[in-house]
Amino acid sequence: MQKYWDTPPPARPSAVAALLPEAVELRHAGRRLRLAPATVLAPMSGITDTVFRRFIRDLGGCGLIMTEFTSADGLVRSEKVARRYLSFAECERPIAAQLFGNDPEVMAEAAAVVEQMGFDSIDLNLGCPAKKVVKCNGGSGLLRDLPLLERLFLRLRKAVSLPFTVKFRAGWDEAHLVHVELARLAEASGVNGLALHARTREQGYSGQAQWRWIAEVKQAVSIPVFGNGDIRSPEDAAAMVAATGCDGVMIGRTAASNPWIFRQMESYRLTGAYAPPGPADRARLIGDYFERLVREGMPGGLGKMKQFASWFTHGVEGGARLRKAVYEARTETEALARVHAFFAEALALPATAAS
């Protein structure tokens, strides 16, 4: 299946671009959650905190954002967990809380907390391949126990009136694919939408996503299906929709390295073209993100700066020097000052205006 990684923007509108869906609705018991555009920021541990989510919102083009995946057990045991992982601002709406766990009663209690906190929807994580999560029979570990999943779906559905979605992988490995069976089970249990990361747990994040699995899920159910995996450009998103018929797309790692991706997809859908970021755009972006981390005193802010710098500075002229400067910083304010100084020199901007 052809994918269009690193393809430059087309010179004129494309019929394929027009296939990107304008909107999709998640419906339950008379409630309708409209996502426009039909794009979702995937939950990513250590990345999609409230600062990053608002950052994506401000750039535009994202229909739904999700929190970091959060332990249901931790949530019901500690208010601190809720404050750290599930605090959100009104400007982040629509927003979904993603939970993981394997006990139906605990999941139901955690889901009720999420609803009381005012989230717009709730998502169950069946995709995380991390050993520490799988070891506890969470995330993609649950793909080996469909009877337990059915109990989880039914109990969680009964516990809340919010739209309820599931993000999952195709199976434990290619010898044990369950994506179609799981999708049908979820729909029959009252789940309102599905997002398939078209890899197996065994793959982790390696190899290519098998988009045909998304098409198979889409053909098996009538609820909305979001495709996830190997979308690195607006062209990829359009190609996925064309190949699978999915109702929307979910993007994770690409959003961390190219936070403009959602805005670019919306521009591509409407015009068939989009503008790549220039050096000044990158300077403003990284400076703005670092300033927000400093201003809001996020836990682990310096680590997040170093992590973000490792993604975002590739493609920046002299990026290795900037990464080194950020890595060697000892405080958040020092890292921010080094970013400003780098871009002030690179772009001949005043140091105070580099953000």
Terminal Cα distance for the chain, rounded: 41
Rounded (10°) CA dihedral 15, 19, 23, 24: 170
Determine phi and psi for 129, rounding to 5 degrees: -95, 0
Domain count, the chain: 2
Tens of pLDDT along the chain (355 residues)?
555 544 444 434 456 776 789 999 999 988 899 999 999 999 998 889 999 999 999 999 999 999 999 999 999 988 888 878 899 999 999 999 999 999 999 999 999 999 999 999 999 999 888 888 887 778 889 999 999 999 999 999 999 999 999 999 999 999 999 999 999 999 999 999 999 999 999 998 999 999 999 999 999 999 999 999 999 999 999 999 999 999 999 999 899 889 999 999 999 999 999 988 887 788 888 888 888 888 887 778 898 888 888 887 766 778 888 899 999 999 999 999 998 888 888 766 544 443 3
Q: Just list the catalytic residues.
A: 128
Does residue 240 belong to any structural domain of this protein?
yes
Is residue 226 domain-shared with residue 347, that is, in the same domain?
no
- Among 219, 242, 271, the domain boundary falls at 271
Does residue 192 belong to any structural domain of this protein?
yes
Q: Residues 6 or more apart from 330 whose CB is under 8 A from it?
A: 302
Does residue 8 belong to any structural domain of this protein?
no
Q: Which residues of 63-101 are buried (b: 16+ CB within 10 A; e: fewer)?
A: bbbbbbbbbbbbbbeeeebbebbbebeeebebbbbbbbb
Is residue 162 domain-shared with residue 248, that is, in the same domain?
yes
Does residue 9 belong to any structural domain of this protein?
no
The answer to whether the beta carbons of residues 163 and 199 sit under 8 Å apart is no
CA angle 60–62–68, rounded 5-degree value:
115
The answer to whether the beta carbons of residues 313 and 286 sit under 8 Å apart is yes
Q: Residues 6 or more apart from 329 whose CB is under 8 A from it?
A: 302, 305, 335, 338
Is residue 191 domain-shared with residue 287, that is, in the same domain?
no
Is residue 300 domain-shared with residue 173, that is, in the same domain?
no
Does residue 7 belong to any structural domain of this protein?
no
Taking the C-alpha atoms of residue 302 and residue 297, their distance in angstroms, rounded to an integer, is 10
Of 20, 19, 46, 48, the closest CA to residue 35 belongs to 20
> 27 pairs with which residues across the strands?
32
How many Cα atoms within 13 Å fall on the side-chain side of residue 17? 19
Is residue 348 domain-shared with residue 218, that is, in the same domain?
no
Does residue 112 belong to any structural domain of this protein?
yes
Is residue 288 domain-shared with residue 261, that is, in the same domain?
no
How many Cα atoms within 13 Å fall on the side-chain side of residue 343? 24
**pTM, entire model:** 0.90
- Among 271, 303, 321, the domain boundary falls at 271
Does residue 106 belong to any structural domain of this protein?
yes
Does residue 5 belong to any structural domain of this protein?
no
Is residue 47 domain-shared with residue 192, that is, in the same domain?
yes
Is residue 224 domain-shared with residue 198, that is, in the same domain?
yes
Domain that holds residue 288: 279-353
- Among 206, 240, 271, the domain boundary falls at 271
Is residue 125 domain-shared with residue 29, that is, in the same domain?
yes
**Tokens representing 178?**
């369950």
Is residue 243 domain-shared with residue 163, that is, in the same domain?
yes
Q: Which CATH number characterizes residue 112's domain? A: 3.20.20.70
Taking the C-alpha atoms of residue 156 and residue 107, their distance in angstroms, rounded to an integer, is 6
Is residue 47 domain-shared with residue 151, that is, in the same domain?
yes
Taking the C-alpha atoms of residue 21 and residue 63, their distance in angstroms, rounded to an integer, is 11
Is residue 225 domain-shared with residue 162, that is, in the same domain?
yes
